[in-house]
Chains A and B, each alone.
Chain A
């Protein structure tokens, strides 16, 4: 891990309390899983970015119930993100992450413009932090 890391306090859930890290995919706008995401390929349509293996770092989410199911579908197809970090809480996404065993972190102090420069993100349930390193 490189030296320039920031740690942000977060509420974290991860199956088996595992620390998860990976390359961040930062999306500054709120995402709607219905429409913005192709669940077959796990791709955010507007930017053509693949979610698999990445830590999705997003402002928040729009839309309703169906968001949970899109997460589940991606997970079943093996194209879901490694973890999801968000600044704005959406219980539908929390329920969807649990149903799909996708680790997640709610980080109210997340600054997306800083996150954009990160090359590595980690979601750490043991210390209740999100680490962003550049």
Chain B
């Protein structure tokens, strides 16, 4: 691999052990992935924050790295913690778990991670520019950055993203090269009405299960990122594609900011409404609903709460748990709360957290959610049943 003089010196340890290790990780992963050189990145986003996910060994690594003086060299955000850190969580989990979770967050902040981040929607803190190179982990954020903003990022593992944050560089392969940003197939989903977050989610899960890498998606109606409801549908569609596939990019017709050639697409696959039910593990009911996977901005949250309050399917819901970015204005939360309370539903917010990566048995044995990513991961990671919520 070609390295600049500075990169060689960093790799030789001239600027300290922490930078040497970070550079070594980025260079070796790059070599194994066939990269010819490194490229500077302007924003890294680190995953692997939940204590239920990385465990005591992840905590140990992060604390060791911080102790060895590792510091990020570029703007760096991090994924949400588990809900052990929220006021709800403090009552649900053992004090040791809560403490360990806090130490993970503290170690990351010591290394220079933006303390106001801890969200799976880093675009809310810093919007990516077209063609900008990033080193993001977190599948839902990666697919958004590539597919909507036209930025360039692979779907990094948490450790690689952290190493890239310290080195200020990542390896040039995959999504950083235009030749890989071409459709592998055309997905025809024009027969699906796309009228709910659940429907957009199920479609996304279906697309993810058939795509060969970069789907070109045709929908029944244009989705616009500028419009809150449309944005909610689009973000859930994309996050769900990234749930059942390793796709870092989906080219949604009318959304992707660049011109694309379709000749690379080998086949045309139609998905109709009958195929969506395959991704429902069966109906169930619960008095607890979860929203905010991925994290929503204020407009999206209010829009979803309005739809919940109007929906006939919301009968029986007593409590809505919303995982949110920590910088969401308190006026916004108050408005969401009053929308839901008019329907007799209590809103509980859990800032900077993700419920999907938390053990949820202490909360409820069954949880309603409209989000595809949550429907997929909750039974696997959170240990409870996920019920589809039609909204």
The contact of A66 among B28, B53, B137, B156, by CB within 8 Å, is: B53
Name the CB-closest residue of B to A67: B157
Please give, as numbers and ranges, the residues of chain B lying within 8 Å of A73 by CB-CB distance.
57, 60-61
1/0 per position for A76-115, CB-CB distance to B under 8 A?
1000000000000101101110110000001000000000
Q: Is A42 among interface residues, defined by CB-CB distance under 8 A?
A: no
Please give, as numbers and ranges, the residues of chain B lying within 8 Å of A96 by CB-CB distance.
159
Total count of chain B residues near the partner, CB < 8 A: 24
A76-B60 contact given A91-B29, A91-B33, CB 8 Å threshold: yes
Q: Is B167 among interface residues, defined by CB-CB distance under 8 A?
A: no
Whether A69 pairs with B61 at a CB distance below 8 angstroms is: yes
Whether B32 pairs with A68 at a CB distance below 8 angstroms is: no
Whether A65 pairs with B163 at a CB distance below 8 angstroms is: no
Whether A95 pairs with B57 at a CB distance below 8 angstroms is: no
Please give, as numbers and ranges, the residues of chain A lying within 8 Å of B25 by CB-CB distance.
95, 98-99
Whether A91 pairs with B55 at a CB distance below 8 angstroms is: no
1/0 per position for B148-178, CB-CB distance to A under 8 A?
0000000011111001000000000000000
Most buried by A among B53, B60, B160: B160
Whether A91 pairs with B160 at a CB distance below 8 angstroms is: yes
Total count of chain A residues near the partner, CB < 8 A: 22
B210 to chain A, nearest CB (A): 21
Q: Which of A60-75 contact B (CB under 8 A)?
A: 64-66, 68-70, 72-73
Whether B47 pairs with A95 at a CB distance below 8 angstroms is: no
Interface of A is mostly: helix
Whether B57 pairs with A65 at a CB distance below 8 angstroms is: no
Q: Is A116 among interface residues, defined by CB-CB distance under 8 A?
A: no
Whether A95 pairs with B60 at a CB distance below 8 angstroms is: no
Whether B159 pairs with A68 at a CB distance below 8 angstroms is: yes
Whether B29 pairs with A94 at a CB distance below 8 angstroms is: yes
1/0 per position for A1-27, CB-CB distance to B under 8 A?
000000000010100000000000000
B interface residue numbers (CB < 8 A to A): 21, 24-25, 28-29, 31-33, 47-48, 53-55, 57-58, 60-61, 137, 156-160, 163
**Closest 8 A-B residue pairs measured CB to CB?**
A65-B158, A65-B48, A73-B57, A92-B157, A69-B58, A68-B159, A69-B57, A95-B159
Known: A13-B28, A96-B159. 17 other contacts (CB 8 A): A11-B31, A64-B158, A65-B48, A65-B53, A69-B58, A69-B61, A72-B60, A72-B61, A73-B60, A76-B60, A89-B32, A91-B29, A92-B159, A94-B28, A94-B32, A95-B25, A98-B28
